[in-house]
Chain A
Amino acid sequence: DTGVSQDPRHKITKRGQNVTFRCDPISEHNRLYWYRQTLGQGPEFLTYFQNEAQLEKSRLLSDRFSAERPKGSFSTLEIQRTEQGDSAMYLCASSLGDRPSGNTIYFGEGSWLTVV
């Protein structure tokens, strides 16, 4: 069990550029989540996949944001035309969705984005 892996850990980009983050969930975890966290705040839900299906998107996820999970394995989160307000830590998490009452959700170390 290697845990949830995120890449890159840090990204500095100029306003207007596109960035992509990758998340590798724990093997066999069929649920994958993306959250965004700014300083001093709790993680805010962005989107959620069950296998390859994107089941929910927060209204925080504007048209500039897109997430995919091809083949139900790794996931990517792309931000187009970045703005300074996108500066945050982007957290990926995964869980095994085999119980109606839910299971432990494991988080990666996050990807820090700074838009200058």
Chain B
Amino acid sequence: SQQGEEDPQALSIQEGENATMNCSYKTSINNLQWYRQNSGRGLVHLILIRSNEREKHSGRLRVTLDTSKKSSSLLITASRAADTASYFCATDAWNSGGYQKVTFGTGTKLQVIP
């Protein structure tokens, strides 16, 4: 089952604009990770934010985490055509068996128009 849900499902913006994607999840987590996936390729890790962190930056990426609302957002500033891809959030949480399990959301498909 999918733990996270991204919103919106699809997003189309002009180059240079900012893109914001949101992820909501259901259970307590250890960390949340964002990934990018180009069509037909594997997932590229973007950023990891731990449950005790509220915000992280990496280059043009800004991730926030609100554990009280069980939500995270990914902001890409000054978007480029090369940012066109699907973006997924993944939550790392303890499962009922006492093991850490990582589950993915449904993804946001971002199109950046040159």
Answer yes or no: B85 CB below 8 A from chain A CBs. no
B14: chain A residues at CB < 8 Å are none
Answer yes or no: A41 CB below 8 A from chain B CBs. yes
Q: Mark A74-114, 1 if CB is under 8 A from B, else 0.
A: 00000000000000010101000100111111111110100
Cβ < 8 Å to A, chain B residues 37-87:
40-45, 48, 50-52
Distance to closest chain A CB from B8 (angstroms): 14
Q: Mark B11-47, 1 if CB is under 8 A from A, else 0.
A: 0000000000000000000110101000011111100
Q: Is the CB of B30 within 8 A of A101?
A: yes
Q: Is the CB of A110 within 8 A of B45?
A: no
Answer yes or no: A48 CB below 8 A from chain B CBs. yes
Q: Report if A102-B30 is in contact (Cβ < 8 Å); known contacts: A91-B42, A107-B35.
A: yes
Across the interface, B101 reaches (CB within 8 A) one of A41, A48, A106, A109, namely A48
Across the interface, A41 reaches (CB within 8 A) one of B30, B42, B51, B106, namely B106
C-alpha gap A93/B45 in the complex (Å): 11
Across the interface, A102 reaches (CB within 8 A) one of B40, B92, B97, B104, namely B92
Number of interface residues of B (CB under 8 A): 29
Q: Report if A102-B45 is in contact (Cβ < 8 Å); known contacts: A41-B106, A42-B105, A43-B88.
A: no
Residues of B within 8 A of A (CB): 2, 30-31, 33, 35, 40-45, 48, 50-52, 88, 90, 92, 95, 97, 99-107
Residues of A within 8 A of B (CB): 33, 35, 41-45, 48, 50, 55-56, 89, 91, 93, 97, 100-110, 112
28 residue pairs A–B, Cβ–Cβ below 8 Å: A42-B2, A42-B88, A42-B107, A43-B43, A43-B88, A43-B104, A44-B104, A45-B103, A45-B104, A50-B99, A56-B101, A91-B43, A93-B43, A97-B100, A101-B31, A101-B50, A102-B48, A104-B33, A104-B45, A104-B48, A105-B33, A105-B102, A106-B45, A107-B35, A107-B42, A107-B45, A109-B42, A110-B41
